[in-house]
Structure 1
Amino acid sequence: MFRQNYKNIATASVVSLSALILVSTGRAADLEPTTNQAPGKQPPAKLEVTEIAGNKDAKKTPQAKETKPSPAELKPVPVVIKPSAKPVLRPITTDSAARPNASVFSPGGFPIPTVRIRDIARVESVRSNQLVGYGLVVGLNGTGDTQQSPFTIQAVVAMLQRFGVTVDPRVLRTRNVAAVMITAEISAFAKNGSKLDVTVSSVGDAMSLQGGVLLQTPLIGADENVYAVAQGGLMIGGFAAGGGGNSATKNHPTAGRVPEGAIVEREIPTKLTASDGSVRINLSTPDFENTTKIALTINEKLGAGTASALDSTTIRVQPPAGYDDPVRLIAEVGALMVQPSVPAKVVLNERTGTVIIGGNVRIAPVAVAHGALTVEITSETLISQPGPLSRVGETVVTGQTDVAAGENRASLVELKPGATLAELVRALNALRVSPRDVIAIILAIKNAGALFAEVEVQ
């Protein structure tokens, strides 16, 4: 009796466990993640319940009537649980190149900006061309060329003859006319009817072009062909006025602009691809590292072997399959993002006192001392005259000159190995030097071999 009850209890336990597993499987199916689930999380594995064959009493036929078996008839059924799919674990990487938004730092310690390729490079065949012309500006208020500019008189005479007017050059007065040169740039894809901005500059002795109007002037290229025609009112941005021996001048009144003053009359043919069908991209600033970075970026986007760096300036891009239109290829390549290398460079302009120091400038261990020698010379006039009621003697004017020399105390600043831009700026500020003294100090550090950068003196 005890054995029969124990067998019934064990059988009921197995049945309860099977039912619990079936219910859990249904709930797991209901809790499957939807498509809005956060990326990176794998759905839980589904459970399948399979009965092992061999238990004939557990099988049911469709014709059999469902009856509730007694506990004595139930036999334990082995249960096998197997997952329907294995969870996929994504590898964890710490490589900064695998993260597109990762910041790359320069040797100076600051992040390098990410820019588009089109902002640091251009297509080799896409370029602008310069145009130039000679013309006349009329309508000036007595501020034009004088008789000392004979080419102005000749130009006026030739212009009047075109309209059937004959005039004696000897009696011609041109104070309301000025001879000018017109310059402009025409882009590679300027079409007929497009408008260009032109710059007008006086070539005679005119005092001002204020209020003048440029007459129709052809603009020619280097091949002596006319590509545009310019005409319109000038914008000076300044003035020149005077009277009674006094004068006032603001900005530069002998040069001005005519916005959209030229109309394109001839298009310049431009071919986007080279003879081998490739597109050549030229960097604005030559750099071997940047050409390599651009070629790698293009290959990652369009496929290996698409781009190759030819030198420090040129990258050749061979259109891959499906890129029959070079315009689409150039647009997609120009939109790619790269992190260019920044050169170590120092720019010095002694005329204006401007000092520009690049962020990658490095300095070797060096001590900088700065001192200034000051020489002050003052002169004073002394008058020596005889005493009152004196019948002899005369008044004498003499000069006295005093010279004083002094040297300021030198300040010594030490720069540690691998000093960056921040340390250099702090050191120069500590010396309290002027921009011209900064230029002298930087050149001295360069001559000492302690400045690892290119120094450009303008």
Structure 2
Amino acid sequence: MNKYRNNFQFNKTNRSLSVAIGLFALSFSCFFFGNVSVAYGERIKDITSIQGVRSNQLVGYGLVVGLSGTGDQTNQAPFTGQTFLSMLQRFDIVLPQDTRLQLNNVAAVAVHAELPAFSKPGQKIDITVSSLGNAQSLRGGSLIMTPLKGVDGQVYAIAQGNLVVGGLGVEGADGSRVTVNVPSVGRIPDGAMVEREVPTQFAGGEPVVLNLHHPDFTTAKRIADAINFMLGPDTAAAQDSTSIRVRAPLKPEHKVNFISLLENIEVDPGEAPARVVINSRTGTIVVGQHVTVDPVAITHGSLTVAIQEAPEVSQPNALGGGETVVVPQTDITVDEEQNPMFKFAPGSTLDDIVRAVNAVGAAPGDLMAILEALKQAGALKAELIVI
């Protein structure tokens, strides 16, 4: 095995030759000896990203035309009329100054898209179109040519096409209205064409840096160890809990082969820290595997007080000359639920917690209160996160 490891060590004087020999030796060893990665591990490509290889956000402003009377009301959205007039001026069409536009079939929209890494001019990307004014629906409309700009103000794509709208809105003459989903937002598959390439540092001579999606020192060390085992000592080194620095070939074509090999190495990630996540809106509770509880006794019950008014009519004696009056009558009942106290032993695990809570029939709301009380008492050995 040492012979194969030595074949992967990069020679400073002839890096290209050493990479070719290393790739051949690795293919040979994997063919005969199988995969040397940890069983049930995760690929590096699934838990990391390459620094500098990222997508970019694009945004633009344009007009959707051809609507069936569901566009912007220009008296309430004046920017729609201004944009329409500007478009006409570009085609040498000038309207009188006192012209009042009623453009029920036009809507001002915002267009946004995500430009993937390494996108080249001529490729197409999907776009999303959203109404900016008071348009009731964009169904049946067409987006006219709209430039999409990046954060630097440069145009990177041009958008145009017919919208696909999943929502539906119908309104009657009496004001009744039925709306299904959101008719003011639509998409155009392949609706924008890339016009400019975003420069990256991938083709440069800098080392490759892998960034973990979820920072963890243990996972970062295991990734570096796995790469060094496959490609030779000192090939990779963990910089911190997020970044792993990897030596890579200088030529772009060799670097592509190297990254392809690198991202398919399997690694056993470090175990997640002990956490309890509570969603207060939906009542969802997720308890991590390594959550433990110190010795503690818990009782949880509910007290219900019901007050009911039952007024009675008092009818006086006919000979007494009195008046008929209503006499208030109040009934108060108190119902206190009797729940047994349950106790956690030292080092109780997730199974013990679930079993104890199910035994008393605690609802999600009750379990939230129990977990919060355990955290305040210092008995819950986990991070409590409320989302």
SS at match of 2:120: coil
Q: Which contiguous aligned blocks of 4+ residues in structure 1 show a shift greater than 6 angstroms?
A: 320-324, 392-401
Shift of 1:379: 5.3
What residue number does 1:267 align with?
Answer: 197
What residue number does 2:61 align with?
Answer: 134
Mapped to 2, the partners of 1:181 and 1:379 lie a distance apart of 58
Structure 1 residues 450 and 396, CA, compared in 2 at 3 Å: closer, same or farther?
Answer: same
Structure 1 residues 374 and 318, CA, compared in 2 at 3 Å: closer, same or farther?
Answer: same
Structure 1 residues 128 and 374, CA, compared in 2 at 3 Å: closer, same or farther?
Answer: same
Which one of 50, 75, 85 corresponds to residue 157 of structure 1?
Answer: 85
Structure 1 residues 206 and 411, CA, compared in 2 at 3 Å: closer, same or farther?
Answer: farther
Percent identity of paired positions between Structure 1 and Structure 2: 47
Shift of 1:282: 0.5
1:370–1:431 contact (8 Å) kept in structure 2: no
What residue number does 1:422 align with?
Answer: 351
User: Counterparts in 2 of 1:50-89, with a 5 A limit?
Assistant: none
Tell me the TM-score normalised to structure 2 length. 0.80
User: Counterparts in 2 of 1:208-227, with a 5 A limit?
Assistant: 208-227=137-156
Letter in 1 for 2:181: N
- Residues paired across the two proteins, number: 347
User: Counterparts in 2 of 1:309-388, with a 5 A limit?
Assistant: 309-319=238-248, 325-343=254-272, 344-378=274-308
1:131–1:184 contact (8 Å) kept in structure 2: yes
User: Counterparts in 2 of 1:6-25, with a 5 A limit?
Assistant: none
Tell me the TM-score normalised to structure 1 length. 0.68
Mapped to 2, the partners of 1:193 and 1:396 lie a distance apart of 89
What residue number does 1:10 align with?
Answer: none
Structure 1 residues 424 and 210, CA, compared in 2 at 3 Å: closer, same or farther?
Answer: farther
Structure 1 residues 140 and 423, CA, compared in 2 at 3 Å: closer, same or farther?
Answer: farther
Structure 1 residues 328 and 160, CA, compared in 2 at 3 Å: closer, same or farther?
Answer: same
Structure 1 residues 148 and 320, CA, compared in 2 at 3 Å: closer, same or farther?
Answer: closer
User: Counterparts in 2 of 1:135-214, with a 5 A limit?
Assistant: 135-146=62-73, 147-167=75-95, 171-214=100-143
Structure 1 residues 171 and 399, CA, compared in 2 at 3 Å: closer, same or farther?
Answer: farther
Mapped to 2, the partners of 1:100 and 1:352 lie a distance apart of 44
Which one of 165, 173, 176 corresponds to residue 246 of structure 1?
Answer: 176
SS at match of 1:164: coil
Q: Are 1:286 and 2:236 an aligned pair?
A: no
Higher radius of gyration, 1 or 2: 1
Shift of 1:361: 2.4
Task: Give per-residue Cα distances to partners, 1:107-138, cap 9 Å, x unaligned.
Answer: xxxxxx41100000011010111111111222
Task: Give per-residue Cα distances to partners, 1:225-283, cap 9 Å, x unaligned.
Answer: 000111222223221223233222222222222222111110111122676x3111110
Shift of 1:455: 2.4
SS at match of 1:171: coil
Structure 2: 5+ residue runs without aligned partners?
1-34
Structure 1 residues 100 and 374, CA, compared in 2 at 3 Å: closer, same or farther?
Answer: farther
Higher relative contact order (CA 8 A, sep 6+): 2
CA RMSD of aligned residues (A): 3.0
2:203–2:252 contact (8 Å) kept in structure 1: no
Structure 1 residues 427 and 250, CA, compared in 2 at 3 Å: closer, same or farther?
Answer: farther
Mapped to 2, the partners of 1:264 and 1:102 lie a distance apart of 41
Structure 1: 5+ residue runs without aligned partners?
1-98, 104-112
Which one of 233, 248, 267 corresponds to residue 304 of structure 1?
Answer: 233
Structure 1 residues 370 and 189, CA, compared in 2 at 3 Å: closer, same or farther?
Answer: same
Task: Report the more deviating stretch, 216-225 or 419-428.
Answer: 419-428
Mapped to 2, the partners of 1:331 and 1:415 lie a distance apart of 50
Mapped to 2, the partners of 1:400 and 1:202 lie a distance apart of 59
What residue number does 1:453 align with?
Answer: 382
Letter in 2 for 1:164: D
Structure 1 residues 337 and 404, CA, compared in 2 at 3 Å: closer, same or farther?
Answer: same
Which one of 186, 194, 216 corresponds to residue 256 of structure 1?
Answer: 186
